[in-house]
Amino acid sequence: MISHSERQKVIRTICKAACAGFVAEGRLEEREARVLAQEVDALITAAGRRKRVTAGMRTWKRIKPFSPVIATVVMIVFACLALGLYILWLASHKPDETTLVSAAVATMAVAAAAIGWAVAGWVSHRNSRVQHTINLLFARVSQPTFAENTFAFHEAFGLKLSPMVYISDLSRMENSKNETDRKAAQSVKYILNYFEFVAAGITRGDLDLKYVDLTMRGQIKFYYDKCEPLIIASQDANPKTLENLSKLRDYYRHQDFLDI
């Protein structure tokens, strides 16, 4: 059975041959044929996206590092409250037992302390995650490496979604004797791996999704969509390639759909 990218390649080849035939027959001009080929390419890619979005949303499980702590605190609080209420019930039947009342108050105090510790811990964890995200975002704009790679990328592939980046383009540039081509190939890897790192941080709960949305959402969508044929072909060979980035992009597609 052929892979998804191979099926897309077959369809594109058929469409390209059909357009060439129409041009030869004089039914289409070359410019019209190019536009039609681009539209078909976009439709094929969009169809592949829709097929993967639902599955991607089902499989993207973001880790919440503080959840076990919250669960533990909730159990402690309920246990303390239950014990305290039971002790108070016993004390109500034995009014002279002041020790029972003191024990009930102590258990309530433990519950209150556990709640306070949980709230303080959650606030500290959230602030730490936000600060870590801000540091990462600041490093992106303050270091020249990212800017150099984005410049090399756009110099080679342009500023628009079309033309897209294919695995054949990457292979050709990597094996080119032209240093500019090799830098462009390296820039593709650098940018995609950088956003994969960001997406992995979100998946692991180390980065704040809201801050990434506010600052990187447009860039992530653009670079992923422009390199999607390359990503799909790479994932056919190894499904783990840019796995987190693909799930983040599917999440954005889902959000865009909900915003319509």
- Overall average pLDDT of the 80-100 stretch: 65
Residue 57 has pLDDT above 50, yes or no: no
Task: Determine contact, residues 238/10, Cβ cutoff 8 Å.
Answer: no
- Overall average pLDDT of the 201-215 stretch: 88
What percentage of the chain reaches a pLDDT higher than 90? Answer: 25
pLDDT digits (tens, 9 = 90+) for 63-74: 666 566 667 767
65: exposed, middle or buried (Cβ count in 10 Å: 0-12, 13-18, 19+): exposed
pLDDT digits (tens, 9 = 90+) for 213-227: 988 999 999 999 999
Closest CA to 80 of 112, 38, 48, 102: 112
Structure confidence at residue 5 (pLDDT): 60
Structure confidence at residue 17 (pLDDT): 77
pTM: 0.65
- Overall average pLDDT of the 192-197 stretch: 94
Which residues have CB under 8 Å from 195's CB, separation 6+?
Answer: 216, 219, 220, 223, 224, 245, 248
Q: Choose the most confident range, by mean pLDDT, from 19-23, 140-144, 218-222, 253-257.
A: 218-222
Domain extents in the chain: 1-59, 67-122, 143-260
Token reading at 54: 């639902």
Structure confidence at residue 242 (pLDDT): 92
Residue 234 has pLDDT above 80, yes or no: yes
Distance CA 258, CA 255 (A): 5
Helical H segments across 62-97, by residue range: 67-93
